[in-house]
Amino acid sequence: MLIGAAPLTAAISDWLSLDDRGYVLAGRDLLRAQERSGWSLDRDPFHLETSHPGVFVAGDLRHGSVKRVASAVGEGAMAASLVNSFLATIE
């Protein structure tokens, strides 16, 4: 959840990787920030996939998001598609 300009991510900070401002790292940003040390799979994370494989982030909580409703809606639709891609990898 995001209220104003500060992400309310303290409750997930021990479960998902966050940047120094509290935004959730995902995809390539996750790999750049952790130099692969926090990613447990052989494949790269999908675009909106967090440090916990199969958990995706969309909208204002994501590191690097543009903080606009239309963008968040588009990322939500993309995340739904990426969930299907993730499920195909774990057959």
pLDDT of 20: 92
Taking all residues of the chain, what is their mean pLDDT, rounded to a whole number?
A: 87
Q: Which residue segments constitute the domains of the chain, with CATH numbers given?
A: 7-89 (3.50.50.60)
Beta-carbon count within 10 A of 44 CB: 13
47-63 pLDDT tens trace:
999 999 999 999 889 99
Whether residue 24 contacts residue 62, with contact meaning beta carbons closer than 8 Å, is answered with yes
What 3-state DSSP class applies to 88? helix
Q: How far lies 76's CA from each of 39, 60, 70, in Å? A: 22, 11, 10
pLDDT band at 41 (very low <50, low <70, confident <90, very high): confident
Query: What's the pTM value of the predicted model, to 2 decimals?
Result: 0.84
**Residue pLDDT, tens place only, 71-91:** 888 999 999 999 999 999 886
